[in-house]
Amino acid sequence: MAKAAPKKKQPADPSVTDAAWPEELIPVQETPWLRAPWQRFLAMQQQGRLPHGLLITGARGLGTLGLARNIMAYLLCNDPIATPGKESACGVCSTCRLRLAGTHPDIHLLTRTGVSQAASAHGVSVDEIRTLIETFSFTRYGPLRIAFVEQAERMNRNAANSLLKLLEEPPSGSLFLMTAERADLLPSTIRSRVQRLSVTMPSRSALLGWLCDTQSVAKTDAELLWFMNDEQLMKGQLPTWDWQAATAALVELMTDDGAVLTTVHCWQGIERDTLARWLLRLWVDVMRLHSGLQSEAPVTLAPLIRRLAQHDSGEHWLKLHRVLLEFLQTATHPLNDELALARLALDLIDPTLPHRLA
Ligand SMILES: [Zn+2]
């Protein structure tokens, strides 16, 4: 009798594989600003009033994704730790092991860091939401299925409408979990069908203390991390992109009109979304100076920001807000990088500003 061919290992369903997932869960109970939303979730769950839709709102850097992962892990665990103040997934049961391997069939993810590179680069399309809904509707392993969309405001209108249909008539044993930095960009029809868990920004001193004490970050680095409010903040990791060069290029551009091409060249190496957020952060600090407030920037950055504030009037900077916001809003669109950056640079130094802003 012929020997049976060895069973082919099934590749993991790409929709449930996520590079960020197998990481250890962050300790939500020990993170001061996550404790309240986590306790609120636990209360809902323990009182049997967990909704079909949950939206976690708050800045990316504050661990909204980490909170979402804790919620998913806790709900799917067969034997979660129930000790008050220590509630968490057990990490060892069969479903926890599947989750840790990134192959839990009841987890359906649309994250920025997962395999869905298209979602990361161009927002969430209707096709991606349809695929999510399809796999969600036809797969069932345990009593609960969870669909998760990171930064749900990245959904375009059609994608949001597609998700709305499922939110209106959710299948039993299902949870739609989302995070958003700008919940106001989500359609009100979606917002009205989900319960919100808000992660509020801790005070500067609370965050600096937490970074230094629990993440062993040096104070100067902690100050920079707080200022940036980057998504790596919770990990205590400084950004890998060259924020110093990007800032110097902005100063050069604003104080020397001939620097458009060198600025564009410098900015080209940075993700447009990251650059847009950084320029807006610098803008906030420049406006603080124009309003007579103190700069919040770390000492290494403060002189550059003072130069920016001194060079142009507060009125000019106020107008630039719309230029920067527009750049942020199109930062995930598939535009030609060089053209988008050149347009931004020219708008920033245009003394009259384009007519479209009038
Ligand atoms: Zn478990």
How many whole angstroms from 88 Cα to the centroid of ligand 1? Answer: 9
Q: Name the 3-class secondary structure at 22.
A: coil
The alpha carbon of 291 and the centre of ligand 1 are apart by a number of angstroms equal to: 52
pLDDT of residue 109: 85
115: pLDDT strictly greater than 60: no
pLDDT in tens, 205-247: 999 999 999 889 999 999 999 998 877 788 888 888 899 999 9
Residue 1 CB: number of other CB atoms within 10 A? Answer: 3
Strand-pairing partners, residue 198, are 57
State both tokens at 331: 């930062």
Distance 72 CA to ligand 1 centre (A): 11
* Residue 278, number of CB atoms within 10 A of its CB: 20
Instruction: Give the distance (Å) from ligand 1 centre to CA of residue 256.
Output: 59
**Protein residues with C-beta less than 5 angstroms from the ion ligand 1:** 77, 89-90, 93, 96
How far is residue 228 from each of residues 237, 238, 244, 297, measured CA to CA in Å?
11, 9, 12, 9
User: Could you report the per-residue pLDDT of 13-59, keeping only the tens digit for each?
Assistant: 334 344 445 567 888 998 999 999 999 999 999 999 999 999 999 98
- pTM > 0.85: yes or no: no
Tell how far the Cα of 81 is from the centroid of ligand 1, in angstroms. 8
Domains in the chain, ordered, with CATH?
A: 14-198 (3.40.50.300), 241-357 (1.20.272)
